[in-house]
A and B are shown apart, each in its own frame.
Chain A
Amino acid sequence: MRRPRLGYRPPLPLVAAAVIVALSAALPLVYLVIRAAEAGGPAVWQLVSRPRTLQLLCNTLLLALAVSSSATVIAVPTAWLLVRTDLPWKPFWSVATVVPLTIPSLVGGYAFVAALGSGGIVHQWLSRWGIGFSGVYGAWGAWLVLTLLSYPYVLLPVRSTLQSLDPAVEEAAMSLGRSPAGVFWHVTLPALRPAIASGALLVSLYTLSDFAAVSLLQFDSFTRAIYVQYQASFNRSHAAVLGLVLVALTTLLLGVDSRLRGNKRLDRTGPGGKRKAALVKLGKWRWLAVIALGLLVLAAVGLPVGVSAAWLVRGLAHGERVVVDLGIAANSFLVSLGAAALTAIAALPVALLAARYPSRLSRIIERASYIGYALPGIVVALSLVFFGARAGGLLYQTIAMLLFAYLVLFLPQAVGAISANLALASPNLENVARSLGYTPWRVFWRVTLPLITPGVISAGALVFLTAMKELPATLLLSPIGFRTLTTSLWGAVSEAFYARAAAPALLLVGISSLSLFILLRNEGMRR
């Protein structure tokens, strides 16, 4: 069955709001075109057609595909274990498996090199047991680290879809003679497809735009080519040309994503209420499941946290002065909270328009929202410097400006979370409300919003966690003298003040994890 739509024309204020949000998100693209035009045609062609450029592009694309596939392979079984089985210590696992989302890729990169690089802690320990390997660098190291840091982007939407999925269809398939495995493959997995696709898209774009982890793990990615233009020759137009190539690649990935997503109907159409699926008894497999999740959490969370703690202890032992400034932590927390609220609200019209009034315009608007997310942070930051200094007036380098930057950077995370929720909520209720004489505005407040509140909250949560660890835009666009946990972490680690870097790193992971815990703790009680 095709995805249902509302039987009404989109209200004008909704379209206007969505267009404004999309135009904001497309600002970096405008900047890139302006700067690239300065380079002139022949220079552009020479830069784009260099074999090296193409090679980097291929490298990066392959890495993005590899990371998003492995993230899916980790996330889907994990989500199933968390939702559908009698896994022991479930509340702990549901938070712990999402905590990697709180770890900045700068910290992840440093930690993996310090532990697994040759001469590193884990490397030495393993070689004492006769297990030797040649270090963590190159494609496989980048793949490993990015997978471990980003799989929660798939885990979160898959898990919430599994929770809201009506088990009646699966039970029907079972009663018609399908094996449990057959039901999973032919009934459950297809229903998870949109969630997997939207998560995998976020993972692959995260991989495209990351610079910190790939540069530390010595993987030659496309972002490095862009950074080199700024760092080596201060050539902003060459950097812009390469940025446009990245935008083109993103468009390609968005096309793949919409094919993967399909247009199946996911909401309930039958009468009656939805029930909770029966839990699968794991039996003796439960300990295997615990060990597997334990190893995952140990690698993705234990390692970065352990290395940071070791830095702190080592530095303190040699008399380093470490000051924990809670004001900086408050800055990080509040600005990320603001970013979460702003971005979730801005994402609403975009997601609503795309889900309820599919058209060419709504599709373009939804795709425009992804531009900022796929570009390296420095490119987005400089584009907002460009517009902010010219047209921002008194707003330039204020909190408002910084929040706007976060909106441009993280919009698709929020759009994705809200869209996933909208796909599960039947538009029939909205249609009925309209036909009974409710205005569109009232329908939104009284029907749609209550239906998708969980989606809006998880949109905000994702943006909050990502904003907590954002660096390039925070450095360039925050009010002058404004410090956050990430800026202090970066300032210290780049000058080898490891102990001083460890304190904000641990505080960052701690605060973010605590916020996650508060968000997720009600989950078990809700149903």
Chain B
Amino acid sequence: MGELRTAGGRRALLKLGSALLLAWLLATAPGYAQGETLVIYSGRSEALVQPLIDRFVATTGINVRVRYGDTAELAATILEEGDRSPADVYWAQDAGALGALEAYDRLSPLPDELLARVDHRLQSPAGVWVATSGRARVVAYNTRLVPPSELPESIWGFTDPKWRGRIGWAPTNGSFQAFVTALRLLEGDERAEKWLRGVLANQPRVYRNNTAIVDAVGRGEIHVGFVNHYYLHRFLAEQGEKFPVRNHHTSGDAGAIINIAGVGILKSSRAKEAALRFVEFLLSPEAQEYFAQEVYEYPVLLGVEIEINPHVIPLDEINAPHLNLGDLKDLEGTLEMLQRVGVL
């Protein structure tokens, strides 16, 4: 590669560069002595939740800093950090990751008054994490390639050979694994394994995550895919109503479970009061309305009427199975099964 032309020019550039670098280092250094700061590790993406966090800051005046990342990677980070974790609050995309922190005894109990606001099935039995919003498990289908009448009422329909080469799934994804864990709980390990083998025989395509599946269904690369409901609405917002994908709900089985995004406060937190106010805020009607309207999710507050987005099918029209999300904790067993069957 090239050289800078003169030694003098090089030196001047070097000086300028290091001065700039130093100035910027000082500017970005975290303020340790700035009073109480709430640190949130968020597996929910900035695009979805930062506007809500801004509202929290505006109403409470609490100084908030957020580290955005992948839900599982942030959980692993908290585990590696141990008691020195700077995080006060962990906000996850799925219950599995919260369950992992619970299993390592990293979360502190939430007050009963707060837990009582939410259906007991959508929180940890020990009361250390609670759902902030819900999302339904659905089958996304291409409206040009699959007539609605062809879609089965039960997930078992997809083990039929007529779906060969038409299915997409994301077995590395937390929401898919929650679905398999639910299937094991509802129908037993033997049946769950049978279902997996049945779908596997139809040679499903393996995608990286839910968005990649919806995208592929839209292109017609696959005809149906197992995803969470709210991704579709992002695509409709960006590509218009002609985007040829819609959601189908199976009935009363693991294919129709309600997954959650949820939150917990770390045991090691030194800002527990502020952390609690944040969790309270997430369970306030204002925040719930935001999830329902802006993020196309389901509110989780009991006894408060919150209007959901008109594009989303109301929860009471979905026949979801009765399940405690706190019971979906045998992730290791699910992983073992997925590996034994050859899905992973």
Contacts and interface: CB of A to CB of B under 8 A. Distances in A.
A495 B80 contact: no
Interface residues of A, number: 78
Contacts of B57: none
Contact of A399 (B29, B66, B75): B29
Interface residues of B, number: 73
Main secondary structure of the interface of A (DSSP, over half): helix
Given A234-B75, A492-B47, A117 B216 contact: yes
Interface stretch (B125-133, B153-161, B183-191, B234-242): B234-242
A496 B215 contact: yes
Nearest to B241: A318
B65 A480 contact: yes
B47 A491 contact: yes
Contacts of B335: 228, 232-233
A239 to B, nearest CB: 8
Interface string A490-524: 01111111111000000000000000000111110
Interface in B5-55: 5, 17, 20-21, 24-25, 28-30, 32, 39, 45-48
Select the residue from B172, B207, B240 with max chain A CB neighbours within 10 A: B172
A118 B46 contact: no
A314 interface: yes
B219 A461 contact: no
A482 interface: yes
A495 B86 CA distance: 26
Given A218-B205, A234-B97, A399-B28, A480 B86 contact: yes
Nearest to B170: A215
A491 B46 contact: yes
A334 interface: yes
B321 interface: no
Given A119-B219, A482-B28, A523-B1, A215 B208 contact: yes
Contact of B79 (A234, A314, A481): A234
A453 B21 CA distance: 22
A457 B207 CA distance: 40
B174 A314 contact: no
A465 to B, nearest CB: 11
Contacts of A236: 76, 79-80
Contact of A382 (B20, B67, B77, B172): B77
Contacts of A232: 172, 174, 177, 331, 334-335, 338, 344
B253 to A, nearest CB: 22
Contacts of A156: 1
Contacts of B216: 117
A4 to B, nearest CB: 25
B3 interface: yes
Contact of A394 (B32, B239, B334): B32
A522 B5 contact: yes
Contacts of B56: none
B45 A519 contact: no
A140 to B, nearest CB: 15
Contact of B332 (A235, A461, A521): A235
Contacts of B58: none
A496 B231 contact: yes
Contacts of A224: 172
B211 interface: yes
Contacts of A399: 25, 28-29
Nearest to B73: A378
A487 B68 contact: yes
B206 A390 contact: no
A496 B214 contact: yes
B69 interface: yes
B108 interface: no
Contacts of B235: 496
B209 interface: yes
A137 B205 contact: yes
Given A234-B72, A389-B80, A497-B47, A479 B29 contact: yes
Contacts of B73: 230, 378, 381-382, 472, 475-476
9 contacts: A113-B212, A232-B172, A232-B334, A233-B335, A318-B237, A385-B80, A479-B28, A498-B238, A519-B2
> Which 3 pairs from chain A and chain B are nearest by CB?
A119-B219, A522-B2, A458-B1
Interface of B: 1-5, 17, 20-21, 24-25, 28-30, 32, 39, 45-48, 65-70, 72-77, 79-82, 84-86, 97, 100, 172-174, 177, 205-209, 211-212, 214-216, 218-221, 231, 234-235, 237-240, 331-332, 334-335, 338-339, 342, 344
Given A389-B80, A496-B234, 5 more contacts: A228-B172, A230-B73, A389-B85, A454-B2, A481-B67
